[in-house]
Structure 1
């Protein structure tokens, strides 16, 4: 049986951030991931200035800036007419006003940067958690491959279907939101042949659906779109299923010719259910604590879901530094007190799908620096 001071279950963006931040703070950390390996699959992702400031602490900000696209604006446009609903300044404005850049990037490229920031030998693949027990003095973890581990504390960064959440609160399926998302990655050369201009970061809106599109590399040779579309029930097996350009045409019938051209360039597109949970009554118990989608899952409509997991990782690190592993009860209480309100607000705005649809001020999200905000105690909260 291996022994860790801190065990993290799940090595996604939040788990990887927690591992790297805690290791840099001097803690002994092992990260257990059920996947056999990571590869460059998946989707694009936005990283706002609030998160770039965390990556600065990890030493990966410059590498991320070099590989990512830097939009000058977030554009919101009417799906049918193409009229501009909002032009939210980013680019140099974000650096000056919020303290860091706003970037869009391929999720796999970002994840690879984060994994490389972990201490060698501390990420363990093929570790599907089958059992966990907190005996008061430590936590035992059992994996499907027959191995065991023991830790002083366990951080559940294992997503919306978290096994750590189940250990704290019991089994409960997430709620289907009534929406699906479509994802597609398109070669920019193919788009160039259409004769249309495809903006670096634009969200097309109508009353009950949307399509968000942006570049995922610094060279801007990939263009990605993700949608939110009503769907009465998720009646498929698995986390996603193949879709088609024909299905996209039906979903976005009547949308602007630029959107139609984007759909016409689609070669492969998938769709997946947008799942959710009600706010949890607790974030920790004993020696186990949750972060990210295991704790406060949200629709992706604000482009801050992964960002909230990474902020969670930074705040949890701050709290553990404050108390040490000898008083994790206080550390976990401080963590929840200092994260619940912000994470819940972002969750509510994201689920409502109103973010940046009109000309609003995003400073409350982008200007936030998790290392500079005062650490509140329970009474002050």
Structure 2
């Protein structure tokens, strides 16, 4: 069969490769004129790296990654460790796939390199999707109409396809924003930092970890903006820059190591964190959503990219052996297998943000005690209960 995938981000590239593995031809439509180095760090848990192994990409991706031995949760003011969980070899042995820390561009490049060049249409803007009983079509800004047996809309959190399918529906500001930066390893070598650290404080949390084989420290400082600054903080952009020193004012009073990292980062990028309201379905006829267009979530459990990769795996599996006439039923199967899981992950991520940002006092002390008690009984993070699930081995009704 022939498919069109709209959007060449991580989800769109993974979908293209999964459909190729299922034996289908794909036209990948991307509005950018070229693939570039965008974004910063990304975490991939075993539920996602297992899929990369099936796509024969795990070795290439892992060669560019860092593999943390543990994750450490700490208090904001003095850096005291609340608890830690093991990752590294122990997690890989337990779940059958590694936990990797990557620069987003390295993952994107590995996925893009595996797509046949002739399948990619860069600098092509989709302006509409329509369909009938026999085919689906994408109209481009140049007036071209691309025809296929199905269309997969992986066009991100600002998805136009989602609105074409389901009506007006805008991304929702989560009331949180983040500063981000990448620092060379030698710039922070003198600081006593855990490999993967999560520092929790009132209305804020701070995350750092190594990427690109440990050559760069990825830094993400999440905060709840004051009401008068909310409109500016809500800007969703990979390239918007914060005012010099702004991050130091927002994290004033935090542990000296956090402030040292933020100071050495210099001028940081700032972006508003947005989500999408859960949908009751992701597909109509021969057209389906995938990744952030379907279920954009806050990044507080590091599962956004993983869920898109898992969408792609199930999409390819549902369409393996399908005929053009069977596409609507195959897309129904894809959505049944993924919607509930992704929606639950959205909700879990939102709850984690609330838990991370509790004010000092009884609630924060109770959270810390609860986390320490859980870690004393379990080697792995609470969300690790999902890491061992092979998304293609699960049994689902047809």
Could you say which TM-score interval applies, normalised by the shorter chain?
A: over 0.9
Rate the CA distance shift 1:371–1:237 in 2: closer, same or farther, 3 A. Answer: closer
CA deviations 1:301-342 (Å, max 9, x no partner) are 111101101100111111111644331222122112111221
**CA–CA distance in structure 2, aligned partners of residues 272 and 292 of structure 1:** 20
Aligned to 2:386: 365
Question: 2:191 aligned to 189, 196, 205, which one?
Answer: 196
**CA–CA distance in structure 2, aligned partners of residues 362 and 158 of structure 1:** 27
Structure 1 spans left out of the alignment, 5+ residues: none
Rate the CA distance shift 1:176–1:339 in 2: closer, same or farther, 3 A. Answer: same
CA deviations 1:117-154 (Å, max 9, x no partner) are 11231011011111221133212211123433111110
**CA–CA distance in structure 2, aligned partners of residues 329 and 363 of structure 1:** 33
Listed as ranges, the matches of 1:146-165 within 5 Å are 146-165=143-162
**Between Structure 1 and Structure 2, how many residues are aligned?**
371
Listed as ranges, the matches of 1:339-354 within 5 Å are 339-353=338-352
**CA–CA distance in structure 2, aligned partners of residues 324 and 147 of structure 1:** 26
Structure 2 spans left out of the alignment, 5+ residues: 357-367, 376-380
CA deviations 1:38-60 (Å, max 9, x no partner) are 11232110011111111101111
Aligned to 2:222: 228
Aligned to 2:42: 45
Deviation at residue 234 of structure 1 after TM alignment: 2.6
Normalising to structure 1: TM-score of the pair? 0.93
- Structure 1, 131-140 or 160-169: larger mean CA deviation: 131-140
Answer whether contact 2:199 2:205 (CA < 8 A) is retained.
yes
Q: Find runs of 4+ consecutive structure 1 residues off by over 6 angstroms.
A: none
Question: 2:72 aligned to 61, 72, 75, which one?
Answer: 75
Rate the CA distance shift 1:235–1:260 in 2: closer, same or farther, 3 A. Answer: closer
SS in 2 for 1:302: coil
Matched, 1:101 2:98: yes
**CA–CA distance in structure 1, aligned partners of residues 333 and 148 of structure 2:** 21
SS in 1 for 2:300: helix
